[in-house]
Structure 1
């Protein structure tokens, strides 16, 4: 019976470790399962005077397509994931004239994103270890 005890604990450890690593290897299913609403930008809460058209959002679609709302204008582009890294290309954007600087700050910050952390209830976009933006699932 003693010989089986280490084997039992070893199997439990492998099962738990395997489940956790599987989640971190495939963030795509968590990304595409939600539309994401911006909750912070450059470590600060949102100033709604900068986003008069509404809260910016991102949607990660099939085949590496990206769609979003920047606070005034909509955009449609691409994204790609490699390991914990992400590349975002907002692509084409509508051209409405909008007051405030929030939209431009949002788009320029998207260009700096190189890494991500994603869970069911939060998406964090980073530049290395620096948090640039955080998002929560969008409530429709």
Structure 2
């Protein structure tokens, strides 16, 4: 009986002491560790016919810099991350004329982003509880 108590106390000590060594997921390292390709917009899968030259994408760079592709034009801006809150500023966007509404819809959704959910295989931008867009890691 004494051996069982000692084992139990040792096991509890081990579990409690190892909990402090678990590293929480750092959203910034996940953001910057991938190029992100758009997979849904306003809760709907992509209609690629609305994007003239391919799938929109975003890259989060050192120093809060943001680079991306709107499906027609390139963008170069900034982002600010604080916990699960994020502000995206597409900044400068090239001015090539684009057919369809995909680029406008993409940029409009970017301007509404207030928070995010991120995992290794998916990035979701939200406005409160409303899903605005989701991304998956871009394959090279």
TM-score, with structure 1 as normaliser: 0.90
**Which segments of 5 or more consecutive residues in structure 1 lack a partner in the other structure?**
none
Partner of 1:46: 46
Matched, 1:76 2:83: no
CA distance in structure 2 between the aligned counterparts of 1:80 and 1:46, rounded to whole angstroms = 26
Partner of 2:12: 9
CA distance in structure 2 between the aligned counterparts of 1:109 and 1:61, rounded to whole angstroms = 20
TM-score, with structure 2 as normaliser: 0.90
Cα offset, 1:14, TM superposition = 5.6
Residues 65-114 of structure 1: per-residue CA shift (max 9 Å, x gap): 00000010000000011111000000001000010000000001001001
Matched, 1:19 2:22: yes
**Which segments of 5 or more consecutive residues in structure 2 lack a partner in the other structure?**
none
CA distance in structure 1 between the aligned counterparts of 2:120 and 2:45, rounded to whole angstroms = 21
Partner of 1:93: 93
Q: Any idea what SS the aligned residue of 2:45 has? A: coil
Q: Which runs of 4+ in 1 moved over 2 A?
A: 6-11, 13-20
Q: Any idea what SS the aligned residue of 1:19 has? A: coil
* RMSD over aligned Cα atoms: 1.7
Partner of 1:114: 114
Q: Any idea what SS the aligned residue of 1:9 has? A: helix
Q: Any idea what SS the aligned residue of 2:37 has? A: strand
